Amino acid sequence: MTVQVDSFPRAQVARRRRLKWSHVEGYFFVAPFFVGFVLFTLGPFIASLVLSFTSWGLFGAPKLVGLQNYQQILTNDPSFSTSILVTLYYMVGHIPLAMALAFAVALLLNQQVWGMPFFRTVYYLPAVTASVATAILWAWLFDPTFGLIDQGLALIGIKGPNWLGVTTWAMPAFILMSLWSIGDMMVIYLAALQGVPQNLYEASAIDGAGRWMRLRHVTIPMMTPAIFLTLLLQIIGSFQVFTSAFILTNGGPGNATLFYVLYLYQSAFQNFRMGYASALAWILFVIIMSFTLFQVWLSRRWVYYEGEQR
């Protein structure tokens, strides 16, 4: 019987070629994402860091100024402190109301009644509506002359304010408008509600717990991961408000709605201070990262993960 001695080395060479070609194919398929990430994410990320140490008016060559931009922002820029306070005001007013409303709506939409898919779709639609269209819609609603909100208040004998025209009511108007788009949180809460084990409800009912006790001691503790997630998303989103403020008030009246990102935009594309705006962007990055890390650390005290060893 004749044995081909070189058959095994040939098979190994063929296998190695196939493995190398599979690697080439893999790199080929991930190349579009990798190129896009480098050009549109990592590249601008590094470029903004470099520009934050320069003075650049969008035209001409950047001039290196070191930490001058950061020093001016932190010590000699009243608009920076105003934008921080405005954003914090919005965050404190928006987050509790939006989360509570989304949770209440999710509880209602978790009922087993006829037509519930239709109502779930209706409540979610504002979350996927274009932000520009939403801002224009609310501009009509807030109009002091023919706005539906003031007209509705007039029916019960209340004279509605000039919502977007006075400093007192401008931010409450933005907070009220933000409650329109709670669909994303509502979906997260609804999914978390449907994931609560039913045997916990049955056991608590046997022990004599009513609806409020079951909500407090079963539903909410089991939903703390979803609540934690939405809290993080809402904090980050509060520091990124731009479209509605740009369209409705452009920071007015009297800088009452000068959100941080709007001020960053004005510095970059209206005042042509790209280096200064890059420094603002990196300060925003540090602020958001600090809030996020603090919430992650704090979550160990109140977030419950099923199956986790304490």
3-state secondary structure 85-111: HHHHHHHHHHHHHHHHHHHHHHHHHCC
Residue 297 has pLDDT above 70, yes or no: yes
Domain containing residue 173: CATH number: 1.10.3720.10
89 domain residue, yes or no: yes
201 domain residue, yes or no: yes
2 domain residue, yes or no: no
Lowest mean pLDDT among 1-5, 224-228, 289-293: 1-5
Q: What pLDDT is attached to residue 219?
A: 93
The CA distance from 52 to 72, in Å, is: 12
More confident residue, 77 or 9: 77
Q: What pLDDT is attached to residue 220?
A: 93
Q: Are residues 238 and 204 in the same domain?
A: yes
179 domain residue, yes or no: yes
Residue 184's closest CA among 118, 240, 234, 136?
A: 234
The CA distance from 148 to 193, in Å, is: 35
pTM over 0.85: yes
Angle at 189 between CA 290 and CA 214, to 5 degrees: 110
Q: Are residues 23 and 83 in the same domain?
A: no
Amino acid residing at 217: H
Residue 210 banded pLDDT, cuts 50, 70, 90: confident
The CA distance from 218 to 204, in Å, is: 8
Q: What is the mean pLDDT of the chain?
A: 90
Domain that holds residue 140: 72-299
Q: Do the Cβ atoms of 52 and 282 come closer than 8 Å?
A: yes
Per DSSP, the three-state class of 216 is helix
Q: What pLDDT is attached to residue 90?
A: 97
CA distances from 42 to 35, 146, 157, 220, 267 (A): 10, 47, 56, 39, 22
Residue 114 banded pLDDT, cuts 50, 70, 90: confident
Q: What pLDDT is attached to residue 108?
A: 93
Q: Which residues pair with 54 in a beta bridge?
A: 64
